[in-house]
Amino acid sequence: MNESRESANGSLGRMLVALLAGIVVVLGIWGGYTWWRNVQYRRSMESAYRRAVQEAAVNLSNISTDLVKGMYSGSSSQLSQLSAKLWKEASTAKSAISALPVAELHLDNTNQFLSQVGDYAMYLSRKSANGQTLSSEEWENFRKLREYADRLSEAMDELDDSLERGDITFEEIAQLVAAGVDTDDLDDEMPSIVTNTSLDAMEGGFSGYPTLIYDGPFSDHILDKTPVITQTQPEISADQAKAIAQKAAGEAVELSNYREEDSTLPCYVFYSDNCSVAVSKNGGQLCYLIRSKGEEVEERLSPAQAISAARIYLNQLGLQSMKDSYYEIDDGIITINFAYETQDAICYTDLIKIAVAMDDGEVVSYDARGYLVNHRERSFVEPSLSAEQAQEVLSRELSVRKSRLALIPTEGENEVLCWEFDCEGSAGDHVLVYVNANTGVEEQILLLIEDEDGVLTK
């Protein structure tokens, strides 16, 4: 009897041990799953915060640029356009900032700044609707907002760089702030961006990289236009096109294959292992060339020497009336904009872009599609306004260095003749202003940036 009872107790004990072991295993699995879910959640939140930082940086950089342009606006129509852009950028930036842990990051002042920019933009929009321009006080407000936006740009860059390097995470920032770490000690524990002072000034400049002047209008929607040069010219054969392509690529390149490219600018495209060349079916015009260097490029040539190499290449193609305007250097490759120039005006609409390797002067890319689409013989009539008359609409904060007539593209598929004024702003900025040569309307304002990476605009 006792043996039966002991046997039953032993079985019960083993069952309890097994049950407890099972519970431990289940709890372990559940704990592991919960830990994994928490890790995934934290990663997801960090990723979302990074995207918000980058999106905010895009808009904040644009705000800084538009504020500078607003400082030098000389007409109510241009001021109205800039006001609309400012309001849109401020609203989008606030939306991105709202996705961040605002309380933990002390971003109240940042939101306040964006609200002020948005409100100020609406005020200026109403003012411009009445045909009024900036007063001295309003210009000073632009200057102050611009200075603040520039500081925020630097702060945002630092935050984004720190997050990308893994120096800090939003979770660590929140933990330190929640723990009440003294802000004087934060610089020793994390990047200076997360101090209260820096965070109150977090606005910025991630994506406002300068672009080559008038590059935008020659995007895909412009290339949908029927090309002017080739539309009336006869079609050539593939063999004739290959001879043209071979001359453009050089005899050392073996162009053994080709395909046909059907678009508004139909081409024969010839290619080798490291080179592609497109020649128009109508007229045999060189459309584009792309060549791979295959090795790191050492900068042995100066920008002037590389531009000279590009000009020689253009002359070999029979294009002598091209004026180099702006350029950009990246990893030993200089990309130059050439615009068609007449005795009357420079035509930024008729654009050829050439990239040259700065080690040996070899042309690594050539794109004439903007030129082929827009170029034609034009008869420029005497503009209604002289340079002196057009200059009267400029902001009083600008000092004109020089002026010339320029044909620029509009946002649609048209072009407008303007007086191009090369100016220095009262705050030291290099500014280009384009005033319609017939109506006196301020068509465009660009900031010219000259540094070791090139001569660019934004």
Q: Which residue has the higher pLDDT, 44 or 58?
A: 58
pLDDT of residue 25: 60
Residue 406's SS3 state is strand
Residue found by looking up tokens 């392509």 in the block:
245
Query: What is 347-395 written as a DSSP string?
Result: EEEEEEEEEEETTT--EEEEE-HHHHHH-----PPPPSS-HHHHHTTS-
pLDDT of residue 125: 62
Classify residue 125: in a domain, yes or no.
yes
Domain boundary among 322, 339, 374: 374
Classify residue 180: in a domain, yes or no.
yes
Q: Which residue has the higher pLDDT, 383 or 176?
A: 383
How far, in Å, CA of 127 to CA of 386, rounded? 28
How far, in Å, CA of 366 to CA of 301, rounded? 19
How many of the other CB atoms lie within 10 Å of CB of 351?
27
Residue 411's SS3 state is coil
Q: What does the chain come to in residues?
A: 458
Helices first, then strands: H and E counts in the chain: 13, 13
Q: Which residue has the higher pLDDT, 194 or 411?
A: 411
Average pLDDT of 5-21?
A: 61
**Average pLDDT of the chain?**
76
What is the per-residue pLDDT across 163-175, written as a single tens digit (0 to 9) for each? 777 777 766 766 6
Q: What is the DSSP letter of 422?
A: E
Distances (CA, A) of 136 to 75, 119, 395: 15, 19, 11
pLDDT of residue 196: 38
Query: Phi first, then psi: what are they for 125, rounded to 5°?
Result: -65, -45
Quote the strand ranges of 272-332, DSSP E: 275-280, 286-291, 322-330
Regarding whether 317 and 227 lie in a shared domain, the answer is yes
pLDDT of residue 456: 76
Average pLDDT of 105-116?
A: 68
What is the per-residue pLDDT across 59-104, written as a single tens digit (0 to 9) for each? 888 888 888 888 887 776 777 777 777 877 877 777 777 667 654 5
pLDDT of residue 313: 94
Q: For residues 424 and 399, is the Cβ–Cβ distance under 8 A?
A: yes
Classify residue 14: in a domain, yes or no.
no
Regarding whether 448 and 423 lie in a shared domain, the answer is yes
The domain of 431 spans 387-457
Q: For residues 326 and 456, is the Cβ–Cβ distance under 8 A?
A: yes
Query: Phi first, then psi: what are they for 443, rounded to 5°?
Result: -85, -35
Q: For residues 196 and 103, is the Cβ–Cβ distance under 8 A?
A: no
- List CB contacts of 220: < 8 A, sequence separation 6 or more: none
How far, in Å, CA of 221 to CA of 240, rounded? 30
Classify residue 245: in a domain, yes or no.
yes
Residue found by looking up tokens 């000389």 in the block:
74
Domain boundary among 169, 199, 229: 199
Regarding whether 113 and 254 lie in a shared domain, the answer is no
Q: In the numeric block, which tokens belong to residue 254?
A: 């073996």
Regarding whether 363 and 222 lie in a shared domain, the answer is yes
What is the per-residue pLDDT across 129-138, written as a single tens digit (0 to 9) for each? 556 666 777 7
Residue 160: pLDDT band by 50, 70, 90 thresholds? confident
Classify residue 251: in a domain, yes or no.
yes
| Residue 257 clears pLDDT 60, i.e. is over it | yes
Residue 221: pLDDT band by 50, 70, 90 thresholds? very low
Closest C-alpha to 356, from 346, 347, 367: 367
Query: Phi first, then psi: what are they for 131, rounded to 5°?
Result: 80, 20
pLDDT of residue 194: 43
How far, in Å, CA of 98 to CA of 338, rounded? 44
Q: For residues 236 and 281, is the Cβ–Cβ distance under 8 A?
A: yes
How far, in Å, CA of 374 to CA of 228, rounded? 6
Share of the chain above pLDDT 70, in %: 70
Give me Rg for the CA atoms of the chain: 31
**Sign of the CA dihedral 374, 376, 379, 380?**
positive
Closest C-alpha to 421, from 439, 438, 444: 444
Q: For residues 264 and 221, is the Cβ–Cβ distance under 8 A?
A: no
Classify residue 12: in a domain, yes or no.
no
Regarding whether 272 and 194 lie in a shared domain, the answer is no
Residue 159: pLDDT band by 50, 70, 90 thresholds? confident
Domain boundary among 318, 341, 374: 374
Q: Which residue has the higher pLDDT, 391 or 82?
A: 391
How many of the other CB atoms lie within 10 Å of CB of 408?
23
pLDDT of residue 173: 65
Regarding whether 348 and 246 lie in a shared domain, the answer is yes
> How many independent structural domains does the chain possess?
3
pLDDT of residue 21: 65
Closest C-alpha to 372, from 216, 230, 224, 264: 230
pLDDT of residue 304: 94
Closest C-alpha to 118, from 84, 72, 78: 84
pLDDT of residue 9: 53
pTM: 0.60
Regarding whether 434 and 361 lie in a shared domain, the answer is no
Classify residue 288: in a domain, yes or no.
yes
What is the per-residue pLDDT across 332-383, written as a single tens digit (0 to 9) for each? 888 899 999 988 899 998 999 998 999 989 998 898 988 998 888 888 888 9
> What is the β-pairing status of strands 257-261 and 267-271?
antiparallel
Regarding whether 353 and 280 lie in a shared domain, the answer is yes
What is the per-residue pLDDT across 405-446, written as a single tens digit (0 to 9) for each? 999 987 656 789 999 999 999 989 999 999 999 999 898 899
Regarding whether 293 and 234 lie in a shared domain, the answer is yes
Residue 186: pLDDT band by 50, 70, 90 thresholds? very low
Cα angle vertex 129, ends 124, 131, to 5°? 100
Regarding whether 370 and 230 lie in a shared domain, the answer is yes
Classify residue 39: in a domain, yes or no.
no
Regarding whether 326 and 399 lie in a shared domain, the answer is no
pLDDT of residue 224: 57
pLDDT of residue 68: 85
The H or E element spanning position 304 is: helix 303-316
Average pLDDT of 198-202?
A: 41
How far, in Å, CA of 96 to CA of 49, rounded? 9
Regarding whether 270 and 245 lie in a shared domain, the answer is yes
Q: In the numeric block, which tokens belong to residue 265?
A: 């600018």
Quote the strand ranges of 272-314, DSSP E: 275-280, 286-291
Share of the chain above pLDDT 90, in %: 23
